[in-house]
Structure 1
Amino acid sequence: MSDPQRDLLRRLFDAAVAAADPRLCVPAHLAPPPPPGGRTIVIGAGKASAAMARALEEHWTGPLEGIVVTRYGHAVPCERIEIVEAAHPVPDAAGEAAARRILDLVGGLTERDLVIALISGGGSALLALPAPGLTFADKQAINRALLRSGASIDEMNCVRKHLSAVKGGRLGAATWPARCHALLISDVPGDDPQVIASGPTVPDATTFAEARAILAKYGIAPPEAVRRHLEAAAEETPKPGDPRLARVTNVIVAAPQRSLDAAAAAAREAGLVPVILGDSLEGEAREVAKVMAGIARQVLRHGQPAPAPCVLLSGGETTVTVRGGGRGGRNVEFLLALAVDLRGEARVWAIAGDTDGIDGAEEAAGAIVTPDSLARAAARGLDAKAALAANDAHAVFEALGDQVVTGPTLTNVNDFRAVLVV
């Protein structure tokens, strides 16, 4: 099914994703090569890391060697850098083995050597090496509990850092005394390098006490080994000023705001007024949907914050507290809640999707809402409110043929939302 509004929304989404393409954003930020005799070691983790490695290879004339780990299905062929695939969002043994190999690779380097770290969203789960005394099963259990709890990405990463041998600056510290140049694609609200992939090359300001408090906040009872590890707090993550991180630089090469700007430019070309509401909106997906519906109604009734036709653009990462047995997905949950709240408003369309191409565990980036979404769902015997209560929005949009399917985009700058008011 196609109409001008659908096509326009898809163009906006595609423009946002294209702005974060590693082929465009990596080459401009490469580090100077090491002095003669020095090695260049490439390491990395994240959904975009393989594409970043390919872009690096295409623009680096000297010797290169290294390993990066990406999500299954996100690999691209490289000639000099080994690409390893592992599981996301719940880590697996392949990610653990890759993290151990990466840590071994950067050990024993000298001041003449250069490490290039390619870090993007998803790297926290993919770079999964437990701290001493913890097992891989311990980390998997905590990850699953956090994913279902409604915890924010900042909170999840705080806990992960304090259960890891590589996160929270530990990987960066391991590269000492080599120079480490980290290129980061941000998928987190606020673009805080400490949070992107749990900050493996960045000093960490969080503490063991905060990690314990987060588990308590969400009523998560950790495995006994995890409880003992967090209580002992034997070795804190490297903090700002740690001399082992003195030769590490961290550069953000792509971020949600740049993608929103690209979508806004595409909207202006189409004759719309773009209104960027923020690149770091957080909260429960269905609550964010209520706010967006309210803003859309304000446009229709009062011409604020802009008169129609306009498009409301936003990024960030909502959360879903899983209560039902459905297939999940924060973007489709946002969209279904938006449709329910708008109640068939004739002048509003919307798109929302994860810029990595996968909304939660589903092989769809997101979906599109039209004024007749609820009516078409009812005609197929689908109860939108019941599906929302069961966290099963994917089933509704799949039945309607309204999913946005891109396949892996090989980048990741968090979620993209556009609400079109005509």
Structure 2
Amino acid sequence: MRASRSSTPRVSRANTSPATSPPNISSACSWSAPTRQSTRAASSAPSSKWCAGAELAEHPDPRRELLLGLLRAGLERVDGRRCVREALSGSAGARAPAHVWLAAIGKAAESMARGAHEALGAAIERTLLITRDAPGAQFVAGGAVEVLLGAHPLPDERSLAAGERLLAWVEALPPEAQPLFLISGGASSLVEVLEAGATLHDLEELTRQAFAQGIAIGELNARRAALSRIKGGGLAARLRGRPAQALFVSDVPQDDPRVIGSGLMGPAASGEDRVERHVVASVDDAVAAVAAAAAALGLAVHAPARRFEGDAVRLAARFAHELCLTSAQLCVWGGESTVQVPPHPGRGGRNQHLALA
């Protein structure tokens, strides 16, 4: 599972399907049939059953409903709106007192911004929202609200325009303003200011090649930061020692602010850094919530502490092997797989690829 971000969940890193799924199906949140007899009975069902949507609707598999319910428990735990609201209300971080200038960047930007406004209300004077999708019509916030749409997963001119606006926003901070940054997955692509000599084509090619090679997110974000004036701590350096707060919904291994959003609000490489950083939601939180909900139902749960990473096809084989060996009734994994994207990819993402591997 991964939070989208609020995470919901980099959107959910958990894929759900029963262990009695047809061959070549695996999942990151899977039911392990408790008895050999039930496994045998399920495997003897006609394969057409799995493609007959109407039949499934008439006779829903209770295991599927169980897994979906557990998945919802994980997603609710990492909901950006709730996590930010609680963090700013004092349960996980300090309250920003007044004159707050809020910048929310990432796929979960709207959700996180809603939580901030619910916690701080009229204390927020300005809001800058940089995200992938236009916010809902019901998004009502105090003070002036500006919304910019960037591009994801490949950056484009909109991402560059959003980056220039973000820089101008930081430069315009009045002396009394309290900057609050809300960062979530997708920020690496949605906003960018390139180093002198670097072009949008350079960034696009770097990203495409990384997708084709199936490299891990940490390495990809490090490469992006090398071309950027605001990544790798560059934006924090622009604050010039001003106190600020940054809340993160993490979709990366180790929940490192230097990696989240390619280090958009990571520590400044030089100069004074007075940014207070808190990770308010992570993959581990989602996995723990799923495991706790399952345990409350009396299920034996296997939830490895170590996050998974690597090639989706190899991970699928590993998960299938673990499912065959475990005595647990539910297996929950959290992490991020990689896929070598071909020149003309089909539909779906890395989670679907893993599930079908």
Query: Normalising by structure 2, what TM-score?
Result: 0.76
1:278-357 → structure 2 map (5 Å cutoff): 278=305, 280-299=307-326, 307-308=327-328, 310-323=329-342, 325-337=345-357
SS state at 1:181 partner: strand
Alignment of 1:341-420 (within 5 A): none
Please report how far the alpha carbon of residue 171 of structure 1 lies from its aligned counterpart in structure 2 after TM superposition: 0.7
Structure 1 residues 331-374: Cα deviation after superposition (integer angstroms, max 9, x where no partner): 1221122xxxxxxxxxxxxxxxxxxxxxxxxxxxxxxxxxxxxx
* Residues 74, 311 of structure 1: alpha-carbon distance in 2 compared, 3 angstrom cutoff: farther
- Tell me the residue number matched to 2:21: none
Q: Structure 1 residue 50 and structure 2 residue 50: aligned?
A: no
Which residue of structure 2 aligns with residue 69 of structure 1?
Answer: 130
Q: How does 1:243-282 map to 2 (within 5 A)?
A: 243-245=271-273, 247-278=274-305, 280-282=307-309
Provide the residue aligned with 1:95 in structure 2: 159
Structure 1: stretches of 5+ with no match in the other structure:
204-237, 300-306, 338-422
TM superposition shift of 1:97: 1.1
Comparing 175-184 with 272-281, which one deviates more in the overlay? 272-281
Alignment of 1:33 onto 2:52: no
TM-aligned CA distance change 1:325 to 1:84, over 3 Å: closer
The more displaced of 6-15 and 136-145 is 136-145
Partner amino acid, structure 2, of 1:7: E
Q: Could you tell me which amino acid in structure 2 is paired with residue 9 of structure 1?
A: L
d(CA) in 2 for partners of 1:186 and 1:75? 23
Q: CA deviation at 1:75?
A: 5.4
Structure with more relative contact order (C-alpha pairs < 8 Å, separation 6 or more):
2
CA contact (8 A) 1:69 1:95 kept: no
TM-score (norm 1): 0.65
Secondary structure class of the residue paired with 2:340:
coil
Q: Distance in 1 between matches of 2:345 and 2:187?
A: 27
1:104-126: CA deviation from partner (whole Å, max 9, x where unpaired) = 11115465431100101111111
Amino acid paired to 2:333: S
Identity of aligned residues (%): 36
Tell me the secondary structure at the aligned position of residue 338 of structure 2. Answer: coil
CA contact (8 A) 1:72 1:87 kept: no
Contact 2:241 2:271 in 1 (8 A): no
Q: CA–CA distance in 2 between the matches of 1:13 and 1:274? A: 14
> Would the alpha carbon gap of residues 96 and 75 (structure 1) be closer, same or farther in structure 2, given more than 3 Å must change?
farther
Q: CA deviation at 1:312?
A: 0.9
> AA paired with 2:111?
A
Q: 1:152 to 1:109 in 2, by over 3 A?
A: same
Q: How far apart are 1:92 and its partner, in Å? A: 2.1
Distance 1:24 1:3, change over 3 A: same
CA distance in 1 between counterparts of 2:306 and 2:146 reads: 33
Q: CA deviation at 1:4?
A: 0.6
